[in-house]
Amino acid sequence: MNITVDPRTILLAVAVVNTIVMASPSTTALFCCAAVTSTALATVRIRYGVIAILAFSFLYLAFQLLLLVPGSKGVAFAAVMFMWLARFAVSIGIGAWAILGISPSALTAALRSLRIGPLRLPSWVTIPPAVFLRVLPIAVTEARAIYDAMLLRGLRPGARQWLLHPVQSTSMLVIPLLGTVVQSSDDLAAAALIRGLGGTRTPTTIARLSLRTADVGVLASLVAIVSAAWWLP
């Protein structure tokens, strides 16, 4: 059910949704952002969309229920925390959609095509996001491998172990993971040099950058979100 959306449209959606979620007091706009985010994730995997809307609903419902509790400092703090967690859930969801929906090559091509007036974006803006997208799958794969290695050595990494021995459990996972990621960064640097990344000439790409029907739907949703934030405070 994966629907192809232009990377530039996805980046615009991430910027608009995050801005509205974090800056607008409109509850209607927040609900629209949550609906758009869950729908976008559902186009990748249906269960991702279900998880996103359930997480937002749970956090927002907890916020509303705390408002009915007699006031105290603890209740007020918990209510504010759940309110912001609900907003962060939407922000994380739209970011996850961007990570799942954009390949590193497509992201690089999209950022290279963007202009600020007659000027292209500098390399220090275009290169780090592409490197992050390439490093992230490596980090996830290596984390799973480290977890399996811990199981083979008789260790039982789980929620109970993390709660009882947080420092020890974190060090057993983070230290080898950092070593592996640093080692992989050398391979990525070599591959970048071979591909001419950072050079003066604009490289070619096989990524197709064009507006499709899905992009029109996303743009219409963004217009609805901005309108709700503007007219329905």
23, 110, 137, 195 from 205: Cα distances, Å: 36, 10, 21, 11
Whether 214 and 130 map to the same domain: the answer is no
Q: What is the pLDDT confidence band of residue 175, given thresholds at 50, 70 and 90?
A: confident
Does 111 map to a domain? no
Whether 168 and 232 map to the same domain: the answer is no
Whether 93 and 9 map to the same domain: the answer is yes
pLDDT, tens digit, 9 for 90 and up, residues 82-135: 999 999 999 999 999 998 888 877 777 777 777 655 556 666 677 777 777 778
Does 109 map to a domain? no
Whether 142 and 28 map to the same domain: the answer is no
Whether 79 and 173 map to the same domain: the answer is no
Does 113 map to a domain? no
Whether 222 and 170 map to the same domain: the answer is no
Degrees, nearest 5: CA angle 103-105-106: 65
Does 112 map to a domain? no
pLDDT, tens digit, 9 for 90 and up, residues 30-45: 999 999 999 999 998 9
pLDDT, tens digit, 9 for 90 and up, residues 194-228: 766 666 666 666 667 777 888 889 899 999 999 98
Does 15 map to a domain? yes
Does 114 map to a domain? no
Whether 129 and 201 map to the same domain: the answer is yes
Whether 216 and 202 map to the same domain: the answer is no
On whether the CB atoms of residues 110 and 11 are closer than 8 A, the answer is yes
Does 137 map to a domain? yes
Number of domains observed in the structure of the chain: 2
- Over residues 179-189, the mean pLDDT reads 77
Burial class (CB in 10 A: 0-12, 13-18, 19+), 193: exposed
Global pTM value: 0.76
Compute the distance between CA of residue 214 and CA of residue 220 in angstroms, rounded to an integer.
Answer: 10
Whether 182 and 160 map to the same domain: the answer is yes
Whether 157 and 218 map to the same domain: the answer is no
Q: Tokens in use for 169?
A: 């459990």
Per-residue model confidence (pLDDT) at position 150: 80
- Give the residue numbers spanning the domain of 149: 121-206
Instruction: Name which of 67, 44, 41 is nearest 54 in CA terms.
Output: 41
Does 184 map to a domain? yes
Whether 72 and 151 map to the same domain: the answer is no
Whether 151 and 99 map to the same domain: the answer is no
